Structure 1
Amino acid sequence: MSFVSKRGKSAKLYPRAFEASKTLRKATSDKAISYISMMPTKIKHLTELISQFRDSKDDVLKDCIIPTPSSGPGKNDAILMTNKKLSEMVKIVISESRELIEIYECWRMWIQMHTMPIEDGQGFGHDVQTEVMTDIASAIDNASALSLSSTVFHSDRAKMVEKICKYPKIENFAEALRVADEMEWRDMSNAIITMRDDACHLLDLVQKNRRHLENPFGSSHHLHHSMF
């Protein structure tokens, strides 16, 4: 029995479940397609952020305020400020990575809903779906790792500031904080570049293979050159 025949039989046996599945498929497809349409705008935004991050190094170093003995914990209720510019960059990276993960997860579900059984003999259509799904999974892993690394920024920096307050006469701790802030600036700048590059690659891949992703039964081997 073919995959199409099985679906027809399921529709007769479980009409409500079939209609619910059909509604979900349509909603997911509509959302996935809307993401395809808006992705060029997202890529443009990420490109602009790359430029902004690259030009922010001086501001990051300026905001790296080294605490003094008079500004330490318990001194006149002093509040040890974080690096505001760097914190802003970290928030942006976390926000952008989460938005991209949402888009990629939607694309993955959209493709899964159109996945065909390999036994139907449409090997090429299945290969296209597998390749695209693999690249989507890689992009999700990248975005998740960037978001996770960004969230530990404040705790790691707080430990360095605590050491400076505890040992104010050891200049190496102060210099280590400056170096750490500069390295974080570089990491955040590279994070935006990675997200932009992944977004460009996946958009190109999905656009070129959209027909095969949505209708793998219509794929044929002689169309293999269109991928990538």
Structure 2
Amino acid sequence: MDDFKEHLQEQTELLFKESFPAKCQKFHSLIDDPLLSRDAVSIVSKIVKESCGKLKDEVKKRSDSEDIFYTPAQSDSEFDESSERSRKLKRKLDIHRQQEKESEKIDYSKMDSNPYIAKLIETLKPDMRDLVESCNTVKTWVQLQIPEIQDGNNFGVEVQEEILEEVRKVEDECNSFLKSISVYHLTRAEIVSKFAKHSTVEDFVSALEQLDVKEFVTLRLMALEMRSYCLALLDLFDKNMERILTPRGINNANMLVY
């Protein structure tokens, strides 16, 4: 147990000396990067419109190549199978109907994810995962600093518990951001699948555009929030480290400092 505590202590010290400051700097740089610029919203919208246009063209080409036009007089009930021409036309119609059934099972259309949003997610997601793990490490370390319960002189313990609550809050927020990314992909897939079947409905294009723009704004907000969280944790622990390490050695005048 002592070896584990010592290892945890070393990890926590490394986090506050190197990892958290580096994350602050990285998120700060990302916010100023053109990739997360507010002007990039127009790029996101343009990509959606272009990809929807391409998918619409693919669906139209496939539909045109499979269309067979025949008059009401050529309905099944009026086919004269004694005629060779009628038998050939009926076979052709049967094949077409079979192809329609198969096409209901297989959708040959393809629409890629928005590459701009995908790049942002690929950039931010690893750092958010790292921050969740870092919070878990810090949380465990603080918990191990909490002394046994005693009557009186528990103000330092209250400071530790408040700090734990702050760390949990950051951890929960990061997990919520990660979950929202999964929800985004699922929602986008549903809109795209509907648009592939009803490519003449322009509202699906608008819905997809608004979804991607909203995700871009959310990802920018994530970068801003992650920077703020890292800075807040650094500041909080810097001001309260003595209270964390020696909770019984302080009085009620030395409560949590923000």
What TM-score do the two structures reach when normalised by structure 2?
0.74
Which residue does 1:11 correspond to in 2?
none
Q: CA-atom RMSD, angstroms?
A: 2.2
- Which range moves more in the overlay, 54-63 or 195-204? 54-63
Which residue does 1:17 correspond to in 2?
none
Structure 2 segments unaligned to the other structure (5+ residues): 66-107
Which residue does 2:219 correspond to in 1?
188
| Deviation (angstroms), 1:62 | 3.0
Structure 1 letter corresponding to 2:10? D
| Deviation (angstroms), 1:180 | 1.1
In structure 1, what is the Cα distance between the partners aligned to 2:116 and 2:5? 43
Query: Where do 1:68-217 residues align within 5 Å?
Result: 68-72=55-59, 75=62, 79-119=110-150, 121-217=152-248
In structure 1, what is the Cα distance between the partners aligned to 2:200 and 2:28? 42
In structure 2, what is the Cα distance between the partners aligned to 1:79 and 1:73? 13
| Deviation (angstroms), 1:200 | 1.4
Q: Aligned to 1:113, what secondary structure does the other structure show?
A: helix
Q: What is the aligned residue count? A: 207
In structure 1, what is the Cα distance between the partners aligned to 2:227 and 2:60? 41
Q: Are 2:2 and 1:22 equivalent residues in the alignment?
A: yes
In structure 2, relative to structure 1, the CA distance for the partners of 1:139 and 1:74 (3 Å cut) is farther
In structure 2, relative to structure 1, the CA distance for the partners of 1:72 and 1:204 (3 Å cut) is farther
Q: Which has the higher contact order (CA 8 A, sep 6+)?
A: 2
Which residue does 1:60 correspond to in 2?
44
In structure 2, what is the Cα distance between the partners aligned to 1:150 and 1:68? 24
In structure 2, relative to structure 1, the CA distance for the partners of 1:207 and 1:72 (3 Å cut) is farther
Residue identity over aligned pairs, in percent, reads 22
8 Å contact kept, 2:154–2:248: no
| Deviation (angstroms), 1:49 | 1.5
Which residue does 1:32 correspond to in 2?
12
| Deviation (angstroms), 1:167 | 1.0
| Deviation (angstroms), 1:24 | 0.4
In structure 2, what is the Cα distance between the partners aligned to 1:132 and 1:114? 12
Q: Are 2:79 and 1:48 equivalent residues in the alignment?
A: no
